[in-house]
Structure 1
Amino acid sequence: MVSLSPGFIRTGMTRKEVEERPDMRALLDSTPMARWGTVSDIVNVVEFILSDKASFITGTDIVIDGGLSARLLAQQS
Structure 2
Amino acid sequence: MRWLPFIAIFLYVYIEISIFIQVAHVLGVLLTLVLVIFTSVIGMSLVRNQGFKNFVLMQQKMAAGENPAAEMIKSVS
Give TM-score scaled by structure 2 length. Answer: 0.28
Decide which structure has greater strand share: 1
Q: State which structure, 1 or 2, has the greater radius of gyration over its C-alpha atoms.
A: 2
Give TM-score scaled by structure 1 length. Answer: 0.28
Query: Which structure would you say has the larger RCO, counting Cα contacts within 8 Å and 6 or more residues apart?
Result: 1
